[in-house]
Structure 1
């Protein structure tokens, strides 16, 4: 197989990037692969001048590789040295004896610039090591005076050697007592703070390059509390009931949903744009109290070969770690369309295969009560979804356009922050909005609430508009405003589209 010069340059670039990031193990792997490819390329080059240039490149890359190995060895040596603990009763060669220090003139009251030897630090990152650090920092922060600082030093020595009695402390002045008492008080406060510190929540751990991918997922898509409830969504009672049965009830009654009653692997929400599918997914996560993963195709896409599949695998590993959790894949048709088409790319097919494998792997995790990973998906084009994915999304729910009751509820929700004219009739307006989606109704309400302002500023100059008081602009919304808004806004969903959704649900629906 011919060696590509582009592959060699990509490997060198990645090796240098890993070196700059301090990831020397990955850098070594890239350098080794690059050197092997250069060796193969030199063997097939016939031109002596070109071969000489490539040999110089190989020498340069090899030199960089040797430097990386030296850095890695130095780092490992430093880690070993810092992790070695001195046995009890054994003193380092240059470490002075505490008993000798207390009797020497180096710590006399006349020389406050000489500090006692540092206290050995416990590198276990436990509470004791943090308290020791706090004590040393407090001792440096409050030297008080020359005599007081000397007294504080003697007290520090006394804590470790316990050979100096308390009555031997000189307390000749008020400044000394202040210098002694302040660190003691702060030490107690730091100990109390350590006791009152809340325990850190669990964090998903991985190593190497996968740590960066996991950080990206946590930063971009993890949402602990979407704070959307069922009452925030108008109408859609049947969809709410089905989602409660498929997602919420298994969380509340884990002992019942076992065996043949196991929770569904996935739920697909199908419907026209603007009907509230994303809002329903967030409400599910809020009502369940689960970790919410909001995923789109751009989140799981990378320009590097193999990283997209790793992102999919890490996503499901994180979901299992933070279980119970909800993975919501919006516009899933763009991520997992039909396989086998002529326009399908190889990388896209690998991502789809990994997604299907991971969704099948959720079942084993669902055997543990309360540790449920639910996949919610939404799409406006259900007929473009791959058949294997459709089989894994066992519940397929239709989210229709709002009914008469739903349109009236949407009007009340959208207009709750504006003033309404007493003569306005929301029922009449709701009848006029037949065939409008939830997003369309929101646009009509926004347009109607701005009509009075538009009439008021019509023909005025910018300086006159700025001088208008808020009371003249914030007028109640009238029926006339809605009439004008309805004339300017039309529905976005056609009758033909609704017929296509109905036919697909009749054939593949599972509600």
Structure 2
């Protein structure tokens, strides 16, 4: 979607309205409103976001005017002309006048522009309305309106109310706290991942147990709401523990892509403010917004930086208040999902230092799973995923390379593949001048990666996780794990 496409659709909608094709105009207007609604979620600048919200409101108002014209025309078409009487008395009756039907009113000369001076649009005129003359009595007095006419007026009012309800349904669902918290809400809304991270389960090698648990915690309650009730209610919190580079953040992105829930990506900087009392207010607003946009997943990366153990000498008073508010809000999340999984709010957290997490937070994160280093099979899958866009020489043996990478994390394997893919290019440009490098053709740079390149890369890139670190993780998960 581009801004040019939105502009062209607005022009098309107004052309339809000017030509009297109001039904097509409303369809185009609705498409424009949906496009602006999607574009709003991708805008991070609060000033620009406010401007686009103003544009959305003005185009919505313009759509409402066109709908009112359609309602007026429909009320005309509903009126049936009176039939000609077989006989009438010239002294007491007059022949009723038939109203000429028109397919559309006079075309409006110009539709109001929504971008001019940010002023509300002027009301579109549907042309002069034809009025049926009412029958008069013998003395020239106006007679009472007929009951049928009252019914027609009531039906036109109900249609008008219905059209207004349709317009209100197309409005963007937005959390509006109002008051002094408006800026804080806008700060948190910028962290909603509404755009697709484009990471699927198949893009993550190995980690079958972790993927199975996340599907059970997020996806299945949406598919089987009658089953996940009572003691089988969805998990309120999941903690992913493991060495750096094993795919914890990648799993969170896959949840955002595959589960299609509202996804909040929260870091410690998001919930930190220099003003006293504002940090805990941000935490409270975060969970209120999560319940409003439910079903929701709140992902907190490196949660140990926010919720380390309380009572230590290095702990600040403000940090303690933020932890207390986070614990209170997490304990209150489950009430919204016990009876209705569609209102579920789940906290998904990741950490490399689980032993530093507060005990109360560890209790609230009911599922604690270990994300280990990739196995031999997982390393082969990781190599295939990393090298799927790279041309390999015939002598490349992925199984042999995977054996030599024992103890490497997923990030380490990716670094080895990246370094090996650059080896052929380094050999080709060695000794060339900058001018000769710029003049190299695409065919000359077409060089497959060989087994020797991987051997050289393995000598340069070492593993980043030590055996002592692995022992600490395994000891913690044995003591506190809940797979």
TM range (shorter): 0.5 to 0.7
Matched residue, 1:368: 339
Q: 1:457 to 1:208 in 2, by over 3 A?
A: same
Query: Which residue does 2:439 correspond to in 1?
Result: 467
Aligned to 1:510: 482
**Normalised TM-score (structure 2):** 0.67
Alpha-carbon distance in structure 2 between the residues aligned to 1:195 and 1:325: 26
Which residue of structure 2 lines up, in the alignment, with residue 496 of structure 1?
468
Aligned match of 2:409: 437
> Is 1:159 aligned to 2:128, yes or no?
yes
Deviation at 1:285, TM superposition (A): 2.9
Relative to its length, the structure with more helix (as a share) is: 1
Range 214-223 or range 313-322, more displaced: 214-223
Post-superposition shift, 1:195? 8.3
| CA–CA separation in structure 2 for the residues paired with 1:461 and 1:499 | 50
2:248 to 277, 281, 294: 277
Contact 2:200 2:258 survives alignment (8 Å): yes
Q: Does 1:400 align with 2:372?
A: yes
The Cα of 1:129 is off from its aligned counterpart by 4.3
Q: How far did 1:208 drift?
A: 1.6
CA contact (8 A) 2:108 2:125 kept: no
* Counterpart selection for 1:246 from 205, 209, 217: 217
> 1:210 & 1:133 partners in 2: Cα distance?
39
Does residue 349 in structure 1 map to residue 320 in structure 2? yes
CA RMSD of aligned residues (A): 3.0
Partner Cα distance (2:434, 2:128) in 1: 75
CA distance in 2, matches of 1:501, 1:207: 45
Structure-1-length-normalised TM-score? 0.64
State the distance in 2 between where 1:136 and 1:295 align: 55
Q: Which runs of 5+ in 2 are unaligned?
A: 1-59, 71-104, 113-123, 134-162
Unaligned runs of 5+ in 1: 1-123, 143-154, 165-191
After the TM superposition, which of the residue ranges 220-229 and 239-248 deviates more from structure 2?
220-229
C-alpha separation in 2, matches of 1:327 and 1:476:
43
Structure 2 equivalent of residue 292 of structure 1: 263
Query: Which residue does 1:383 correspond to in 2?
Result: 355
Report Cα offsets for 1:218-258 as digits up to 9, x if no partner: 12333354332211100111211222223322222121111
Contact 2:298-2:346 at 8 Å conserved across structures: yes
Structure 1 contact 269–398 (Cα < 8 Å) conserved: yes
How many pairs were matched up? Answer: 349
1:410 to 347, 368, 382: 382
Mapped contact 1:224–1:292 kept (Cα < 8 A): no
Measured after TM superposition, the shift of residue 358 of structure 1 is: 0.4
Q: What is the CA–CA distance in structure 2 between the aligned matches of 1:351 and 1:313, rounded to whole Å?
A: 10
- How big is the shift at 1:284? 2.2
2:128 is aligned with 1:139: no
Given that 2:64 and 2:167 are in contact with CA atoms closer than 8 Å, whether structure 1 keeps it comes out as no
Task: Give the equivalent residue in structure 2 for 1:62.
Answer: none
| 1:72-112 alpha-carbon deviations (Å, 9 max, x no partner) | xxxxxxxxxxxxxxxxxxxxxxxxxxxxxxxxxxxxxxxxx
Secondary structure at 2:258's aligned position in 1? Answer: helix
Which stretch of structure 1 is more off in the superposition, 133-142 or 259-268?
A: 133-142
Shift of the 469–305 alpha-carbon distance from structure 1 to 2, 3 Å rule, reads: same
Q: Give runs of aligned pairs for residues 411-426 of structure 1, distance below 5 A.
A: 411-426=383-398
Look up the SS of the partner of 1:455 in the other structure: helix
Specify whether residues 255 and 457 from structure 1 end up closer, same or farther in structure 2 by C-alpha distance, changes over 3 A only: same
Are the structure 2 counterparts of residues 441 and 400 from structure 1 closer, same or farther at C-alpha, using a change threshold of 3 Å?
same
By relative contact order (CA 8 Å, sep 6+), the higher-ranking structure is 2
Give the aligned partner of residue 326 of structure 1.
297
- Distance verdict in 2 for CA 1:197–1:364, change over 3 Å: closer
**CA separation of 1:163 and 1:250: change in aligned 2, threshold 3 A:** closer
Q: Which has the larger radius of gyration?
A: 1
Listed one character per residue, the Cα deviations across residues 113-146 of structure 1 (whole Å, up to 9, x for unaligned) are: xxxxxxxxxxx9595446679999953579xxxx
* Deviation of 1:463 (Å): 0.8
